[in-house]
Amino acid sequence: MPCSVSIAIQTPEFQSLFIQVSPTRTCKCRRISASWTTAMDSNFSPTMSNKKKKELSVQLPSSAPPIPKFETSRFCDLHFDRLQPSDQELDQHSRFEFGQFVARQALLDEEYWTAAWLRAESHWENRPYERYTDHYKRKFADQEFHAIKRRCRVQIVPNGESCTCIITVRKEQKNVKRSIIKSVVGTLDLNIRYMLQGETFPGERAKAPPFCGINKTPSSRYGYISNLCVAKSARRQGIASNMLHFAVESAKSIGVARIFAHVDRNNGAAQSLYKNMGFEIVEMANALLLDEQTYLLRLQT
């Protein structure tokens, strides 16, 4: 009478698996263990058909673990599903409407974070094949988020310097509600500063003494535009030029006569954008910025 032999093979239990589901959320899956049992006929020979029977048994934990929670410890105060506030809720007087979009000042932490993420996407846009790109983008966005809050919410009132984060959002539509993350499509920073003593353009005295004074006269006050970027899905719709126009008009409204911006020497599209707005290259700054491969542009309002 043929007999059968059962061989139990215990396999290592699966380790915890983390799945990235969004730039800031990681889902932790449950852990299980499994074992296989193989039954084989003892009269088996190479000329006979291989008759095997494999069984798989899976053992789940006796008590179900809690529902997986998203790991958002660094952004615990943010609500990523928060809806974009209506125009009545914001009650802003300084805003610029164009097409299906509105340019205005960022007010909410979720708007600051989305602006930071757009800047991270833009910064790493041309390096998609580098290792750990996603990790660096998240780290960049995290640092930029806190930097924006620090720059924009701690206004240096005594000397008149300030920083404003300007964003472009999709215009409010009837019966259509969007989250803030899906609504913000563009961003830039507008800084109001003063020249150092003896400067005619920002950075001219690169090796200024540590305690060099600030020239707090109306003529030395200037605007500086930085971190201009637009979401890939919303480009070629005039967002960058209109957002830049809004920033320039905002600076003019508080009496700023000169506005500066740096642009990469290899970025022809950005140079054309600024030049179409009336910006000109500051020739005297070229030698100082040669190593940085940037141009300093100036707009005289």
Residue 290's pLDDT is 84
Cα 173 to its chain centre, rounded Å, is 25
| Numbers of helices and strands, H then E, in the chain | 6, 13
Across the strands, what pairs with 56? 36
Neighbouring CB atoms inside 10 A of 119's CB total: 24
Residue 68's pLDDT is 35
- Among the listed residues 112, 222, 224, 274, the single catalytic one is 274
Segments making up each domain of the chain, as ranges: 87-300
Residue 204's pLDDT is 76
Residue 159's pLDDT is 62
Indicate if the alpha-carbon torsion angle 268, 245, 203, 122 is positive or negative: negative
Phi, psi of 125 (to 5 degrees): -65, -40
Residue 51's pLDDT is 46
Phi, psi of 90 (to 5 degrees): -80, -40
Residue 133's pLDDT is 80
Return the exposure string of 218-245: e unless at least 16 CB atoms fall within 10 Å of the residue's CB, then b: eebbbbbbebbbbbeebeebebbebbbe
Q: How many CA atoms lie within 13 A of 274 on its CB side?
A: 25
* Contact yes or no for 88/189 (Cβ under 8 A): no
Residue 19's pLDDT is 47
Residue 89's pLDDT is 77
Rounded to two decimals, what is the model's pTM? 0.71
Residue 60's pLDDT is 43
Q: What whole-number distance in Å separates Cα of residue 296 and Cα of residue 123?
A: 19
CATH architecture, range 87-300:
3-Layer(aba) Sandwich (3.40)
Residue 176's pLDDT is 79
Which two structure tokens, joined as six digits, stand for 249?
A: 């008009």
Residue 61's pLDDT is 45
Active site residue 194: no
Task: Provide the residue-wise pLDDT of the chain in tens; the chain has 301 residues.
Answer: 555 554 444 544 444 444 444 444 555 544 444 444 444 444 545 444 444 444 444 444 444 334 333 333 355 578 888 888 887 777 667 899 999 999 999 989 999 999 999 999 998 887 766 677 888 899 999 999 999 999 987 655 556 789 999 999 998 887 778 899 999 999 999 999 998 887 888 887 766 566 667 778 888 899 999 999 999 999 999 999 999 999 999 999 999 999 999 999 999 999 999 999 999 999 988 888 888 889 999 999 8
